[in-house]
């Protein structure tokens, strides 16, 4: 429950001040630092639904519905404990449409002595926050977001004087610091990483368990009706909305994952299957990133499953690494490198985003599946994001900014601190290798090995040239040819570059010609606008 009246940072020095506590949509946690020391008799909690946050990218309908509903449920929980919550709905008269505008109006309404807020998840909002104090003429305290294992300052210290920021070393420090999966100073099982035992092909007979979905209550139904009308032109389906919107339900979803999915999580972590969009993934990232679950409780629940013998170390270590290692690491990189990080484009990628990222209408069956899953669920798992839509965007030289906007819009878990390094660095190599030691590129053979997408596809991953050849094949070699100056010396690409060097010149010419013809045929516009139900791009 909310940390009512717990003495905290700075609070003891100002016990009689009336404080306006501003809670953002991805901070719906009773443990959030901006609520620390809250005095229910005196303070006011401010929460606002604002147009700017819904349209700075054209978010998926389910993402908006999830955030609004989680915010409204959280406000109701606070109110039920006697806290005064000033909740501004998107359709309320006079809604200023922005965080700054709504904060200004709330200051007029409540005349607080000061404002307390927790640092945001996006640079854009951080820039707004930094001038609130001077704009409002009031003290504004920006608290650290202590939901993370590693603070921004702690990560900066880790990164100091390092030439390379490889995640693996950061992860080991986090394991030692938290004691997760440790036996004294040694890693459980005497290894830090068990990936050699993971990432198997999915047998046709193995199916995903039924996922725990949550029937919308009256409050969520009201939000769904609002979103259906006000955001009708946004990407994505609303039907079948089954996200948890309270902490209690999110805990149930977590418990279901640990019990029914975690044991096979490692084995099939990289597998993809048509019409089984979740496989054995946790699907708790929207809850974690919005504040309904904490990173620590998720890791502890997974560790406990290992200790009880309910899940193997390969699965549990692989899963904990995603949260304790990768998630903390990319957040650290984001804050270390912003704002310049978003501007790099070392491969000079400049093509517009193909329209099929929005419509899903393409004869590339793997893309059609990944986009279809995304439209239905506001979710696709890691390997669909990295090795299908990300891989294609990298091979096709799509401009990073357009790809990033797409990922930020379409996934229910996407906030820029998480999305940008994953897409810009990991998927697109636009940072030149700060995050990834090589570009994550793959031809049709990889997608064929890891999925059942290729069987029904009109292309064949085994055919290298001609009209039936999988386009990923020519694009793969064409990418290596086009970027040889940048990538030719990358040790991890030595093998494909050796193969390329041995290729006959006529074959290279054929690759460049076929890839060029395919890329020239990509359209960033709907082919038949009337047939496309949604205009899904920016509506600002
Ligand atoms: C993503 C989002 C959306 C769609 N709407 C709101 C909103 O109306 N009010 C709000 O407080 N937060 C919203 N959010 C989440 C914010 O965009 C998020 O808090 C910032 O991007 C900082 O991470
Ligand atoms: Fe994708 Fe190529 Fe497989 Fe078709 S054949 S599903 S385009 S990888």
pLDDT tens digit string along 427-440? 999 999 999 999 99
Question: To the nearest whole number, what is the mean pLDDT of the chain?
Answer: 93
Which residue, judged by its Cα, is nearest atom 14 of ligand 1? 25
Nearest atom within ligand 2 for CA of residue 443: 8
Q: For residue 474, which ligand has an atom nearest its CA?
A: 2
Given a contact cutoff of 8 angstroms between Cβ atoms, the answer to whether 396 and 362 are in contact is no
- Of all protein residues, the one whose alpha carbon is nearest to atom 1 of ligand 1 is 53
Let me know whether 238 and 320 are in one domain: yes
Last residue of a domain, one of 288, 305, 337: 337
Do 168 and 127 belong to one domain?
no
The answer to the question of residue 8 being in a domain is no
| Domains contained in the chain, number | 3
What integer pLDDT is reported at residue 526 of this predicted model? 79
Q: Is 58 in the pocket of ligand 1 (CB under 6 A)?
A: no
Distinct helix (H) and strand (E) counts, the chain:
25, 7
pLDDT digits (tens, 9 = 90+) for 123-180: 999 999 999 999 999 999 999 999 999 999 999 999 998 888 889 999 999 999 999 9
- How far CA 135 is from CA of 52, 104, 106, 225, 509, in Å, comes to 19, 9, 13, 36, 60
* pLDDT for position 527: 61
Span from the CA of 66 to the centroid of ligand 1 (angstroms) = 11
| Rg of the chain, C-alpha, whole Å | 24
Q: Which atom number of ligand 1 is nearest to the Cα of residue 49?
A: 8
- 3-class SS at 10? coil
pLDDT band at 58 (very low <50, low <70, confident <90, very high): very high
Parent domain of 300: 152-337
Domain shared by 382 and 332, yes or no = no
Ligand closest to 412 (CA) is: 1
Q: How many CA atoms lie within 13 A of 540 on its CB side?
A: 14
Rounded mean pLDDT, 277-284 = 95
Pick the ligand that lies closest to the CA of residue 223. Answer: 1
Residue 539 scores a pLDDT above 70:
no
Is there a domain that residue 473 lies in? yes
CB 115 within 8 A of CB 140: yes
Residues with CB under 6 A from ligand 2: 364-366, 444, 447-448, 453-454, 457, 459, 461, 470-472
Residue 536 lies in a domain: no
Same domain, 123 and 198: no
Give residue-wise pLDDT tens across range 446-455.
999 999 999 9
CATH number at residue 418: 1.10.579.10
């Amino acid at each position: 429950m909310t940390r009512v009246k717990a003495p905290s940072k700075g609070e003891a020095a100002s016990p009689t001040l009336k404080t306006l506590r501003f809670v953002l949509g991805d901070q719906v946690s009773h443990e959030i630092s901006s609520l620390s020391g809250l005095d229910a008799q005196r303070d006011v909690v401010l929460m606002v639904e604002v147009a700017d946050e819904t349209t700075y990218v054209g978010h998926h309908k389910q993402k908006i519905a999830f955030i609004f509903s989680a915010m409204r449920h959280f406000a109701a929980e606070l109110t039920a404990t006697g806290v005064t919550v000033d909740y501004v709905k998107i359709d309320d008269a006079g809604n200023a449409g922005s965080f700054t505008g709504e904060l200004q109006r709330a200051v007029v309404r409540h005349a607080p002595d000061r404002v307390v807020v927790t640092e945001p998840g996006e640079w854009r909002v951080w820039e707004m926050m930094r001038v609130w104090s001077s704009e409002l003429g009031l003290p504004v305290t920006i608290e650290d977001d202590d939901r993370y294992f590693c603070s921004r300052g702690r990560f900066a210290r880790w990164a100091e004087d390092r030439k390379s920021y490889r995640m693996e070393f950061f992860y080991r420090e986090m394991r030692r610091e938290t004691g997760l999966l440790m036996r004294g100073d040694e890693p459980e099982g005497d290894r830090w990483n068990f990936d050699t035992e993971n990432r198997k092909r999915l047998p046709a007979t193995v199916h995903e368990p039924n996922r725990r979905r949550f029937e919308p209550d009256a409050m969520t139904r009201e939000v769904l009706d609002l979103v259906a009308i006000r955001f009708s032109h946004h990407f994505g389906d609303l039907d079948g909305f089954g996200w948890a919107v309270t902490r209690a339900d999110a805990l149930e979803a977590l418990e279901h994952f640990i019990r029914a999915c975690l044991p096979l999580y490692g084995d099939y972590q990289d597998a993809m299957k048509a019409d089984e969009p979740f496989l054995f993934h946790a699907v708790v990232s929207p809850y974690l990133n919005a504040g309904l679950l904490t990173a620590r409780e998720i890791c502890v629940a997974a560790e406990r499953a290992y200790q009880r013998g309910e899940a193997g170390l390969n699965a549990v270590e692989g899963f904990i690494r995603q949260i304790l290692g990768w998630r903390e690491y990319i957040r650290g990189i984001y804050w270390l490198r912003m704002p310049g990080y978003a501007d790099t484009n070392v491969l000079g990628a400049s093509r517009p985003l193909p329209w099929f990222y929005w419509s899903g209408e393409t004869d590339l069956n793997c893309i059609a599946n990944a986009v279809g899953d995304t439209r239905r669920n506001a979710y696709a798992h890691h390997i669909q994001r990295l090795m299908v839509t990300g891989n294609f965007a990298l091979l096709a030289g799509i401009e990073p900014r357009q790809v990033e906007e797409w990922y930020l819009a379409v996934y229910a878990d996407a906030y820029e601190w998480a999305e940008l390094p994953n897409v810009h660095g990991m998927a697109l190599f636009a940072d030149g290798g700060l995050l990834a030691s090589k570009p994550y590129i793959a031809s049709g053979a990889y997608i064929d090995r890891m999925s059942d997408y290729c069987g029904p596809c009109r292309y064949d991953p085994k055919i290298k040239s001609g009209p039936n050849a999988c386009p990923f094949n020519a694009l793969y070699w064409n990418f290596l040819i086009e970027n040889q100056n940048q990538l030719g010396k990358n040790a991890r690409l030595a093998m494909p570059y050796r193969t390329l060097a041995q290729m006959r010149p006529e074959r290279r010419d054929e690759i460049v010609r076929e890839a060029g013809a395919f890329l020239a045929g990509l359209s960033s516009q709907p082919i038949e606008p009337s047939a496309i139900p949604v205009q899904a791009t920016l509506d600002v």
